[in-house]
């Protein structure tokens, strides 16, 4: 009988251990399910928000976060506006440079050839041509100039010659052409 009592005690002890284990497992599982639902339905968040709203420092920090977010949005807007303005200014500068280039080209085209800025090579070539014509007989030089060049080009050649040589060639030319060249040299 004593043996029987011990067996019954052991069985009761095992059953108790199993019951406690099952209870603990169910309690943990229930706690996990409740916690999960608690987080899923934002109950936890709303409770924390309510608790934190009672703290003035938390409220002030929330307001500062909101202000910071607003300022960041404003800054991003301003940066995009500044970027757009920089792009617009770059386009306007490009257009302005193109117009300036066109105006410079038109201005250089409107200046008589003999008054346009020349490179050293161009100036040397023009003086060399002038020297060739200066060494010729004025009648021959006048005939060649009239047959080869426009009035403006003749003025350019004569402009780069000595006064004595250009006067001799002009006197050998037709008076109408000579007058036109002289007028160009004096007024343009």
- Write out pLDDT tens, residues 50-96: 766 677 776 677 788 889 899 999 999 999 999 999 999 999 899 98
Pick the more confident residue, 27 or 16.
27
Please give the average per-residue pLDDT across 4-27, as a whole number.
Answer: 78
Among 164, 162, 143, 146, residue whose Cα is nearest residue 154: 146
Residues 169, 171, 173, 176, CA torsion sign: positive
Question: Of 53-57, 73-77, 148-152, 176-180, which one has max mean pLDDT?
Answer: 73-77
Among 122, 109, 110, 114, residue whose Cα is nearest residue 151: 114
In sequence order, what E strands does the chain have? Answer: none
How far is 184 from 188, CA to CA, in rounded Å?
A: 6
Among 139, 141, 172, residue whose Cα is nearest residue 157: 141
How far is 26 from 8, CA to CA, in rounded Å?
A: 26
pLDDT digits (tens, 9 = 90+) for 115-132: 556 677 777 887 888 888
Domain ranges of the chain: 2-54, 57-110, 119-187
């Amino acid at each position: 009988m004593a043996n029987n009592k011990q067996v019954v005690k052991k069985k009761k002890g095992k059953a108790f251990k199993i019951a406690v284990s099952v209870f603990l497992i169910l309690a943990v599982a229930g706690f996990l399910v409740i916690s999960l639902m608690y987080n899923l339905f934002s109950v936890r968040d709303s409770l924390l928000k309510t608790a934190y709203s009672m703290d003035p420092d938390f409220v002030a920090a929330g307001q500062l976060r909101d202000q910071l977010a607003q300022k960041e949005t404003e800054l991003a807007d301003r940066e995009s506006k500044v970027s757009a303005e920089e792009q617009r200014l770059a386009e306007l500068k490009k257009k302005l440079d193109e117009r300036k280039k066109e105006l410079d080209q038109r201005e250089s085209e409107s200046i008589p050839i003999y008054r346009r800025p020349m490179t050293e090579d161009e100036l040397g070539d023009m003086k060399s041509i002038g020297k060739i014509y200066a060494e010729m007989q004025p009648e021959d030089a006048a005939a060649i100039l009239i047959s080869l060049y426009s009035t403006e080009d003749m003025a350019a050649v004569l402009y780069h010659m000595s006064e004595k040589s250009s006067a001799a060639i002009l006197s050998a030319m037709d008076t109408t052409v000579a007058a036109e060249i002289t007028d160009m040299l004096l007024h343009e």
